[in-house]
Structure 1
Amino acid sequence: MMWQRDCCSSNMEDDVSLKFHQQLLLISENLVTEDVEALKFLCTDLLHLRKLEGVKSALDIFKLLMAQEYLNAEDTFLLAELLYRIKCHSLLEKLGYTKEKVQERLHEKGRVSPYRQMLYELSENITNEMLKEIIFLLQNHLPKRWITLSALDLLILLEKQGLLTKDNVQILEDVCVTVSPDLLETIKCYKKAKDNKAANFTQAFPELNLELRGEFSNVENGSKNMTSYKMDGPHRGFCLIINNVNFNSSQRKGSCKDAEQLERVFTWLGLDVRTYTDLTSGDIRSLMQTWQDLQDHEDRNCFVCCILSHGESGAIYGTDEKLVLIRTLMSHFTASQCPQLAAKPKLFFIQACQGNKIQRPVYVDTGAQTSDLSSMQDSFPLFESIPEEADFLLSMATVDGYVSFRHIEEGSWYIQALCSKLQLLVPRGEDILSILTQVNEDVARRVSPSGTKKQMPQPAYTFRKKFIFPIPTAPPPSEQHQGF
C-alpha cells in the first residue's frame, strides 16, 4: 500500500483481524435489545439515520461504524466510549479498557456530542410515569395513533419533526418544568456548558475573529496598508523539525522525504534548521522547554516549528504513542513564557492526523457562489489549539477529526504542497497567509488513487501584521535539487 494515514492507529486495513471480529461478536452477544437501542441513539450524529433505522442487532451497528471507519482493529475507542455511556462497564475489558481508562481519554477522543449525552441521560432518568405525563403534555405535537415505546423513541420523534435540536431544547424545558425539576436540571447543565464554551471562545480569542474579518476585508478591498513583521535583522530565526518515524506499532514511511524538503526550503529562506528524529512525548516536552529558554531568540526575527508525526484531535503523538497537546507545545512560546520572542511571529506547521474520519469528494457546480463568511468561521474548530497571545500561526495538514495522507515514497500531500508553494510564491513577495491559501487549494485538488478520499488543510492565526519572508538571493531548492 503506497499511502498511509498520519494517525497513531496507522496501517488500518479494511480486512480486520479474526480476533477483532471475535471481540465484536462476543460483545454483541452480551447486549440486550435496550442496549442496542441505546447504541443506535448515541450513534445518531455519526451514522446516517436511514441506515440506523434498519439496525436489528449490535453487530449491525458495528458494521456501519466500520464502514465509516469509526471502528477498526487498531482503534476501538469509539466502541469503548459507547459501552461506557450505556454503562456496560464489564464489557470494556474485552477491548482492553477499563472504566477509568475510558474516562481519562474522553476529553481527547470522545465522539458522542454533549447534546446526545444530555438526551440519553434524560431518557435514562425518565420513569414510565413521567413518560406518560410528557406524552400527555406533547399530544398536540405527536402523530395521531402514535404510541411511544420508550423515552428514546419520543426524543427521536421530536428531532425528526424539528422540534428538538442541539441549539433549541425549549420543548424539553417546557415539559420538564411540570414533570420533574431534576430533569430540568440536566438540561440547564447542558445549556450552561454550551453557553460557557461559546463565551470562553469569544473571550479567549477575540483577536482571531477580528483578524479573520480584517484579512478577508483587506483581500476584498485590495488594501495594501497592513504593516508587516520586521524581518530585516541579522538573523532570520530558528526552525525546529520534529520527525517521528518509528513507533512501537508502525513506521511513518515517507516522512524523511518531508523532513528533507523542509530542511532545504527553510534553510533557503534563511532560517537555522535543527532536525530531531523519533522523540517520545517526554522528549518533545523537554525540547520545547529547552527552546523556550534559549536566549538566542532575542536576535532572531521569527520562530518556526514543524512537527511530522501521528496525531489525534488537538494533539500529536510521541514515538511512545503518548499524546502531547498542540496547545501545550505552543504555550512555551507565548510572550510571558518566552519574552525573547514577544511580538515576533511564531509559525507551527503540523503534519499529523487529527482523527480517523475520512473526507469524501463532493462534486460541485464550479459556477456556484461560495459560502458566506459566517459559515466559513463556523468551520474553525482548531482555534481551541491556539494560545491567547498574539503572533501565532498554526497550520494543520487537516481539519479537526480527520486523517491526513502520506505517500510512503513521495511524502505527505500537505508538506509537499507547502514546500512547493513557498518556493514558488516567496520570490513573488506573497505573505504567508496567501501562500497557505494556495496550499489549501493544492491539497484540496488531490485525491487518493481510488478517487474516494480527500484532505483539507487548515491554518488558524493570531497575527497582527502580514508575515512576508524576505526574497532569498539563491534559486529555490527545486532548481538546485532535481527531482524535488
Structure 2
Amino acid sequence: MDRLTLSHIDEGLDSSEVAELCFLCRDVVTRRRLENDAKDLFMRLEEKGLLQNDAFLRQLLYTIHRADLLRVLETDSRPPEETDASPVLSDYRKTLYSIYNGFTTENFEKLKFLLNDELGRRQMELSKTPLDVFAEMEKSALLSDTDVRLLHKALQECDQQLAITLEEYTQSIGSTSIYPHMYILHTYYYTLTHNPRGLCVVFNNEIFTGTNLSNRKGTQKDADTLTEVFTRLGFQVEIHDNCTAEQMKKEINDLGRINFTNHDALVVCVLSHGEKGCVFGTDGGKVLLKELTNPFTSGRASTLAGKPKLFFIQACQGEEYQKGYYPSSREDEKQNKGALQSDASIPDEAVPVPERADFLIGMATVEEFKSFRNTVTGSIYIQELCKQLTIAARRQEMDDILTVLTRVNREVSKGEYLSHKQMPQPNYTLTKKLVLKFV
C-alpha cells in the first residue's frame, strides 16, 4: 500500500485510536511487537502481508468509526484490490471493541473491582481502558475467542446490554461449549442473563380452617427447600402463606400485570390440596390450573412472550391410589410410614391444562391419583425436584429442565408410599432447552 496514504492515516489518528487498532490486531501481530504506534503497526501488518490491498485496513477504520479516514483510502489513485484470500477482522475482536465502546466510567471501575482478584491489583492499576483489561485477561488465559465466561459474568453485574452483546457473539459462532460451567447461550436455548433471573412465587397452603381438608404438615419444609434452591439458581423468591382461593387468584392476576422486560423466566410453585384440574385455597375454594397459567400467556403478558414459564404443582389430582409393580427398598418408608399423607380431596369435574407456548407444568402426580407428603421431610415430589435441580446445577453437563424432570419421574416412581406408588407428570410447550445453573 502507498506509504503516503498510510502517513495521512497515521496523522489523523489520536493515541487512543492507535491503541484500539493495536488491540484489534492482537490476533494477527505478535503482541510484544505492538507498541501503540501507528507507523509501527502498519509496518507489522505489511510484514504479515495484510496491507497488500486495503481490505484489512478498511475493516479496522470502519470498526473504530473513522469514516473520514476511509475516504483517504478512496483518494488513492490506484484501483482497490481484492482477493479471495483477503484477511478478515475477527468477530471476537469486533465484539470486544463494541463492548469497550459501551462502557461508562462508573461501569469500568466496577469491572476492575470485580476482576481484581483474578488479575491482581497491579494489573488493574495499569489498565486505563476496558481494552487494557481485556488484554490482561487474555495474557492470563482468562479470556479467549472460545472462553468468555469470566467476562460475561462480570458484564452481568456491570451492564446487562453489554452482556447481551457478548451473548450474541456466542450465538453467531454457534458455540455450545463457551459456558460449560454456567449455561449455554445458544439459538436453541433460552437465554438467561438477568440478575435476578426472574421471580419464583410460592403459594404455601398449610392451614385449612373450617373445611373438610386436613392441615398439610411438612409443607413448610418444601417452601424452605424451594426458597434455597431457586435463590441459588438466581431467582427472587416470594412466599405467600395460607391463601384463600380468591387471594391466590388476585396474587396471580397481579403478578401477570408486572413488566417482565428485565426477567428471563417465571416460576410459580403451588403447595396445597387439590383434585383433578385444580388446587385449593385454604378456605376450600378451587383455583383451576388454567387460572394459574392464563395470566401469563403471550396475549396477556407480552413481556413474557418467548420466555419460559414454569409451574410446579404439589397437590393430588384425584382419589385413586397407584398400584406398585416393582420391588423396592422399604427401609425409609417403614421408618416414616406414619408420617406420610396425601394431598387429596373430593373429586370433581376435570379442567384441562391449556397448552401455551413456552409453558411447563410439572405435576406431582398424574390425573386421577394421589400424591404423597412426609409430615417431617416434605413432599416426595418437591423434595426430589429440588434434589435433581441441585445435582444438574452443579454438573458440567448442560442438563435441561426436561432431563431433570425425567430423573424426578424415575426416582419418585421407584419408591413406595403407604404401599402405593406415585408417578409425577410434566406437561410442556417449551420451544427451546432451558438450563438452570447456580449463579
TM-score, with structure 1 as normaliser: 0.46
Partner of 2:413: 444
Q: Return the alpha-carbon distance in structure 1 between the equivalents of residues 319 and 225 of structure 2.
A: 26
1:325 counterpart = 2:288: yes
1:240 counterpart = 2:204: no
Partner of 1:467: 434
Report the residue type matching 2:218 in the other structure: G
Q: CA deviation at 1:385?
A: 3.7
Structure 1, unaligned runs of 5 or more: 1-224, 365-382, 474-484
Partner SS, residue 435 of structure 2: coil
Q: Return the alpha-carbon distance in structure 2 between the equivalents of residues 234 and 268 of structure 1.
A: 11
Q: Compared with structure 1, are the counterparts of its residues 419 and 463 closer, same or farther at alpha carbon in structure 2 (3 Å cutoff)?
A: same
Q: CA deviation at 1:384?
A: 6.6
Q: Return the alpha-carbon distance in structure 2 between the equivalents of residues 233 and 387 of structure 1.
A: 28
Q: Compared with structure 1, are the counterparts of its residues 271 and 319 closer, same or farther at alpha carbon in structure 2 (3 Å cutoff)?
A: same
Q: Return the alpha-carbon distance in structure 2 between the equivalents of residues 303 and 270 of structure 1.
A: 12
Identity %: 41
1:362 counterpart = 2:325: yes
Q: Return the alpha-carbon distance in structure 2 between the equivalents of residues 270 and 349 of structure 1.
A: 17
Would you tell me which structure has more helix in proportion to its own residues? 1
Partner of 1:103: none
Q: Return the alpha-carbon distance in structure 1 between the equivalents of residues 218 and 432 of structure 2.
A: 35
Partner SS, residue 299 of structure 1: coil
Would the aligned equivalents of 2:278 and 2:351 in 1 still touch at CA under 8 Å? Answer: no
Aligned counterpart in structure 2 of residue 458 of structure 1, from 422, 425, 428: 425
Partner of 1:434: 403
Aligned counterpart in structure 1 of residue 387 of structure 2, from 420, 425, 428: 420
Q: CA deviation at 1:232?
A: 1.8
Question: What per-residue deviation string (whole Å, max 9, x for no partner) do you get for residues 164-205 of structure 1?
Answer: xxxxxxxxxxxxxxxxxxxxxxxxxxxxxxxxxxxxxxxxxx
Q: CA deviation at 1:387?
A: 2.8
Matches within 5 A, 1:178-257: 227-248=188-209, 249=211, 250-257=214-221
1:393 counterpart = 2:360: yes
Report the residue type matching 2:205 in the other structure: N
Partner of 1:275: 239
Would the aligned equivalents of 1:386 and 1:461 in 2 still touch at CA under 8 Å? Answer: no
Matches within 5 A, 1:126-205: none
Aligned counterpart in structure 1 of residue 301 of structure 2, from 316, 338, 341: 338
Partner of 2:8: none
Would the aligned equivalents of 1:226 and 1:466 in 2 still touch at CA under 8 Å? Answer: no
Displacement over 4 Å in runs of 4+: none
Q: Return the alpha-carbon distance in structure 2 between the equivalents of residues 388 and 417 of structure 1.
A: 25
Q: Return the alpha-carbon distance in structure 1 between the equivalents of residues 377 and 194 of structure 2.
A: 35
Q: Return the alpha-carbon distance in structure 2 between the equivalents of residues 391 and 315 of structure 1.
A: 21
**Higher RCO structure (Cα 8 Å, ≥6 apart):** 1
Q: Return the alpha-carbon distance in structure 2 between the equivalents of residues 398 and 226 of structure 1.
A: 32
Partner SS, residue 324 of structure 2: coil
TM-score, with structure 2 as normaliser: 0.50
Q: CA deviation at 1:256?
A: 0.3
Partner SS, residue 394 of structure 1: strand
Report the residue type matching 1:240 in the other structure: V
Q: Compared with structure 1, are the counterparts of its residues 231 and 384 closer, same or farther at alpha carbon in structure 2 (3 Å cutoff)?
A: farther
Partner of 1:211: none
Partner SS, residue 261 of structure 2: helix
Q: CA deviation at 1:317?
A: 0.3
Q: How many residues end up aligned between the 2 structures? A: 228
Question: What per-residue deviation string (whole Å, max 9, x for no partner) do you get for residues 86-130 of structure 1?
Answer: xxxxxxxxxxxxxxxxxxxxxxxxxxxxxxxxxxxxxxxxxxxxx
